[in-house]
């Protein structure tokens, strides 16, 4: 085994994963020698110790990124395209390792982790096709006194900060378009889940990414890396995470007029209109809620159900969630893994308590079921961060659980008496990342969907992410778009050439 690697043994696989900083194409310890611990969410035990970057390490990474930026930006688009395609192929080739690694450090059930591998890989295939298709323009000036030409060039070194809940897809959504555009990138993975990104860096190196073009800096202190925003050489910030942190970083980036894209918090409504197909609604509601045990930025947060369908919806979704099997993410029988940490579980506990104190009724799960977990599920490690699938009804719009991201396996149901009331409740939030609407009258359903204040709307479907589609929100849920045709534009400057002929 090489230096700065650890051996992972889980789910019948044995493979090596880097645990050092990835700087300038090499793996190394942090300058202070400090380590951060990665935990198994199912047991609370330490999986690995990973090098923790300092401000000095971050400054060195930027020196390297700035030095190699001109050469990488001048690389032939076809060459960048072929590297991205090779990266895609390597991710697919190592699906099993990436699946197990995510389920181990995140706690997520393996079917969900395997789905993320396929989804994240698709960004590299999609942007491999976009790299060689960057367009410009040439036309006559309307005044007839010359020509207008436009071209594009890479923005420059990028700082990417990713969250813990999608350790592969979040770096893929940022790295693939940055590489396609010709930008270098310094990435900071979440402290809770750094191993997947480090393994991705290993695959990227094998794919042919030149030394210094992509660097990875795990750290115990995000501020050590965000200090790079004080340097004029950073020309782009891309961040996925909480609204409060994103807004603070954006304010810092604004001091240097750094281009910024943000994917922030959500409060997604899942609306079941009076004419919806009930069985389809329940099926899609589960898809929109339970992936990753609800720890998903676009997870349905508020279930807004027409009163004519509410009783049956509650019964059917309760029965559906009873079928979920809690267990370690790396167990093939598991369909619902633990929360990522005790802090995350406690947030869910608090929100459920506030909901019940405010008049909500528990139909399934809840804090009482958590208290009795050792009796009902003795097979689960008591040190794991478990929370059972939960259904609440009689939730009111003013309750905290209807106004904060739950980020857990809790279905919080509100009843409405009309489609007009449903729209009012759905839009009564400062957030606008994702939304979902179910209805069989397609004209009425589409009119409703077009009035929802969200950057992405699932119409009769609970899974909406697609590398070929623009991902992003409105209002306090973010700026810019990732994926789709728009995604590469976040990493390109448009240059206008005025021609005198």
Catalytic residue numbers read: 263
Cβ atoms 470, 252 nearer than 8 A: no
- What burial letters (b/e) apply to 321-357, b meaning 16+ CB within 10 Å? beebebbbbbbeebbbbbbbbbebbebbbebbeebbe
Handedness of CA 13, 16, 19, 23 (dihedral sign): negative
Cβ atoms 349, 343 nearer than 8 A: no
Give the separation between CA 186 and CA 217, rounded to whole angstroms: 7
For tokens 């409105």, name the residue.
474
Q: Three-state SS string across 402-450, please?
A: HCCCCCCCEEEEEEECCHHHHHHHHHCCCEECEEEEECCCHHHHHHHHH
Cβ atoms 414, 399 nearer than 8 A: no
C-alpha angle with apex 182: 180 to 187, nearest 5 degrees? 85
At 373 the three-state DSSP class reads helix
Total Cβ atoms within 10 A of residue 318 = 18
Measuring CA to CA, which residue among 196, 195, 107, 115 is closest to residue 409?
107
Tokens of 156: 């420059």
Give the separation between CA 33 and CA 3, rounded to whole angstroms: 14
Query: What DSSP designation does 346 have?
Result: H
Tokens of 489: 């534009």
Tokens of 394: 């009689």
Q: Give the H or E element holding residue 215.
A: strand 214-216
What region does 166 belong to: left with phi over 0, alpha with psi -120 to 50, or beta?
Answer: beta
| Measured CA distances, 452 to 254, 293, 298, 422, 425 (Å) | 30, 25, 15, 10, 10
Give the separation between CA 330 and CA 339, rounded to whole angstroms: 14
At 256 the three-state DSSP class reads coil
Cβ atoms 262, 297 nearer than 8 A: no
């Amino acid at each position: 085994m090489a230096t700065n690697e650890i051996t992972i043994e889980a789910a019948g696989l044995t493979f090596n994963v880097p645990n050092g900083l990835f700087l300038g194409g090499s793996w190394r310890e942090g300058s202070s020698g400090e380590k951060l611990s990665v935990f198994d969410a199912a047991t609370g035990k330490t999986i690995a110790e990973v090098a923790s970057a300092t401000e000095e390490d971050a400054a060195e990474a930027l020196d390297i990124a700035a030095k190699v930026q001109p050469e990488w930006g001048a690389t032939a688009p076809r060459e960048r395209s072929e590297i991205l395609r090779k990266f895609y192929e390597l991710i697919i080739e190592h699906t099993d390792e990436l699946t197990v690694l995510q389920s181990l450090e995140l706690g997520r059930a393996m079917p969900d982790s395997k789905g993320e591998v396929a989804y994240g890989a698709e960004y590299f295939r999609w942007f491999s096709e976009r790299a060689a298709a960057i367009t410009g323009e040439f036309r006559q000036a309307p005044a007839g006194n010359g020509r207008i030409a436009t071209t594009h060039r890479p923005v420059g070194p990028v700082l990417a900060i990713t969250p813990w809940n999608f350790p592969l897809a979040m770096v893929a959504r940022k790295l693939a378009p940055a590489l396609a555009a010709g930008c270098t990138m310094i990435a900071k993975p979440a402290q809770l889940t750094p191993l997947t990104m480090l393994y991705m860096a290993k695959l990227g190196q094998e794919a042919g990414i030149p030394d210094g073009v992509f660097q990875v800096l795990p750290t115990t202190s995000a501020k050590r890396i965000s200090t790079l925003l004080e340097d004029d050489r950073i020309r782009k910030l891309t961040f996925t995470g909480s609204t409060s942190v994103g807004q603070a970083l954006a304010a810092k980036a604004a001091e240097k007029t750094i281009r910024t894209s943000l994917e922030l918090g959500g409060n997604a409504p899942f609306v079941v209109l009076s004419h919806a197909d009930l069985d389809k609604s329940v099926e899609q509601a589960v898809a929109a809620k339970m992936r990753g045990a609800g720890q998903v930025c676009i997870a349905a947060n508020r279930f807004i159900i027409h009163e004519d369908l509410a009783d049956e919806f509650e019964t059917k979704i309760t029965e559906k969630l009873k079928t979920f099997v809690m267990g370690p993410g790396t167990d093939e029988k598991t369909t619902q893994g633990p929360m990522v940490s005790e802090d995350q579980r406690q947030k869910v506990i608090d929100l459920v308590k506030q909901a019940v104190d405010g008049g909500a009724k528990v139909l399934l799960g809840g804090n009482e079921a958590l208290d009795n977990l050792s009796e009902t599920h003795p097979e689960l490690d008591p040190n794991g961060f478990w929370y059972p699938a939960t259904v609440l009804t009689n939730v009111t719009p003013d309750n905290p659980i209807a106004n904060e991201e739950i980020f857990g396996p809790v279905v919080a149901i509100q009843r409405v008496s009309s489609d007009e009331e449903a729209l009012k409740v759905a839009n009564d939030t400062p957030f606008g990342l994702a939304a979902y609407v179910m209805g069989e009258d397609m004209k009425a359903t589409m009119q409703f969907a077009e009035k929802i204040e969200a950057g992405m709307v699932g119409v009769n479907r609970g899974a909406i992410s697609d590398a070929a589609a623009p991902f992003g929100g409105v209002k306090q849920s973010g700026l810019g778009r990732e994926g789709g045709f728009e995604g590469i534009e976040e990493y390109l400057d448009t240059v206008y050439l005025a021609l005198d002929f």
